[in-house]
Amino acid sequence: MSAPLSLRRYRARWHRWARFVAQRLVLRSVVRTTTDVSVEGADNLDGLAGGPFVVVANHTSHLDATLIVTGLPRRLTAHLAVAAAADYFYKQWWVKAPTSLFFNSYPVHRTGGGRGKGMSARLLAAGMPVLIFPEGTRSRDGRMKRFTPGAAALCVGQDVPCVPVALIGTAEAMPVGRSWPVPGRPPVRMLLGRPMRPHPGEKARDFNARVQARIATMLTMQTPYVLADGPQGGSDHPEDKQQEEAS
């Protein structure tokens, strides 16, 4: 039985500063010169302090993770670790090395098992946020697919908030099969939704349905400012009601 992966790199100061250079100076410059990026809803995250949380987004392009790590406020990305498919990003060292540097990634084995098993939970327990694409793979037609409940189960099991993110235009900007955005600086938008928490006693499948519905609503309405956070609309969560009354 193989030993679990060490968390040392994810805590290392040298790696945090190397990521700062890679993400904020290199990746951000590339993104902003090859696409026309807009980030909306950053004020929704004003109350989100440092510590563990789960970022969840729809997934249509390899551009998605790049937008998130370069577009979220730096205070939230300093320790953010990105779940990456082991069968795609960890097969060759020349792919694994830059992925680990630029995205602080960790391997997720889509068929189960492997040394990365349980890494999401271990990172959250160590106080580090994670980014997960719950569709499991990129959508080939640009439409959001059904979410698997893993990210929601982490939020329920470890009582951490979920940050819903809706990405618009990435499928057109860098479709499946391309390793670079299309010419002409295509427009892409990142909508940052209000953090969500599981209701007391809520099952992972139900929280997963609410998160999926929130992102679907953000995509449909093309705004990060939505109040409905359930499949049927509306919310009975105290924090949601307080924000609705204040709006």
Residue 35 domain boundaries: 8-246
Beta strands in the chain (DSSP E): 36-40, 54-57, 81-85, 105-108, 130-132, 162-168, 187-192
Nearest to 132 by CA among 141, 116, 140, 142: 116
Domain count, the chain: 1
Of 42, 39, 38, 44, nearest to 226 (Cα)? 44
For residue 2, being part of any structural domain is answered with no
CB 152 within 8 A of CB 158: no
Residue 28 forms part of a structural domain: yes
**112 within domain boundaries:** yes
In a domain, 1, yes or no: no
14-70 tens-digit pLDDT: 998 999 999 999 999 999 999 999 999 999 999 897 789 999 999 999 999 999 999
Specify if 186 maps to a domain.
yes
Q: Is residue 3 included in any domain, yes or no?
A: no
* Residue 243 pLDDT: 39
Per-residue pLDDT of 59-68, as tens digits, reads 999 999 999 9
Please report, for the domain that includes residue 105, its CATH number. Answer: 3.40.1130.10
Per the prediction, the chain carries an average pLDDT of: 87
Establish if 241 belongs to a structural domain: yes
How far is the CA of 88 from the CAs of 91, 94, 96, 102, in angstroms? Answer: 6, 12, 9, 16
